[in-house]
Amino acid sequence: MIVKCVANKGSEIGPYRRGLFYTPETRFTLSIGRLYDVFAMALINGSLTVLVADDYEKPAWLPLQLFEVEDSSLPADWEFVSHDIGVDSSGPGDLVCEARWGYSEVAHSDAHFYGLEERDPESLRVFDAERSRRA
């Protein structure tokens, strides 16, 4: 899947699409018009996010609304996991991941999923290996 950046500020996403992890003042490290490979997708707090390598070549989970889909084909080896969220016990500001699909580690490993945002060295190594494999 390949997406093209059409917005890089929180204020460029309509208020009904704003998630809990950014504000109107947020500036995303993306370049308008640039194409980005999508390495995974996640449903977080009811919003679809995509995992791309940002302009610093770091993994970033970002709202799909920042992009237009250029190539909608998905890799044959992607895997899907739905999380039984049951009763939403999250507090204000909590992120609830309801489903993930992508390469095996991002779909199945909570440690890898959260490690990408936390810049965990092992999670970054796995992400970089996935990027290299797909290049």
String of DSSP letters for 57-85: S-EEEEEGGGEEEEE----TT-EEEE---
At 90 the pLDDT is 53
What order of strands is seen across the sheet that includes strand 59-63? 59-63, 47-53, 40-44, 97-102, 79-82
DSSP 27: B
pTM, full prediction: 0.89
Contact 99, 43 (CB under 8 A): yes
Residues lower than pLDDT 50 in the chain: 86-87, 89
At 20 the pLDDT is 57
At 61 the pLDDT is 93
Contact 41, 66 (CB under 8 A): no
